[in-house]
Amino acid sequence: MVSAAPRLVVIGANEGARLARAARLADHYGIPRLPAADLLLRRRPLPPGGYVIDSSPQLLDGASGIGGLRPALAFADLVVLLHGADWTGAEEARRVLRYYEARGMLAAFPPDAPDGDLIVAVDAVLRGRTEDPPDGPAGGP
């Protein structure tokens, strides 16, 4: 069954813009915003009804090893990258972003893009979803 609420990861180098954007998207869809750092520390399960995770690009690189996030493909519909004109990211972050881009899971926007532009992208992904991603192991992402 397809859930109506999106499962998003919002990443960006500018913490203030990322947090504000993640909060606005969560509010728009009526779903919780979850800081990735808290998920790593608390290891709690993700809510089944959708969520917005805010993260730095480097946290996405933590594979499913001890203490690391599972790859976003396992628990997200879309990775939203907020990039600035001068943001280059670390080499590791670029590798991870190319991985999500190649799988059609990455949507990049400047931090000042209108919320409506992001919502259009998220809604398009939701329309294309045919099934929910598989549940992850107990203990969270």
Count CB neighbours of 65 within 10 A. Answer: 8
- In this prediction the pTM is 0.75
Class for the domain spanning 7-128: alpha beta
Give residue limits of the domains in the chain.
7-128
Distance CA 56, CA 54 (A): 7
Instruction: Note down pLDDT in tens along the chain; length 141 residues.
Output: 344 688 898 888 678 888 999 999 999 999 999 988 777 777 777 888 889 988 877 666 554 444 444 555 567 888 888 876 666 655 556 666 777 787 788 888 888 889 999 999 888 888 876 555 545 444 444
Tokens 């913490």 sit on residue: 15
In terms of C-beta density within 10 A (0-12 exposed, 13-18 middle, 19 or more buried), how is residue 1 classed?
exposed
Distance CA 29, CA 130 (A): 19
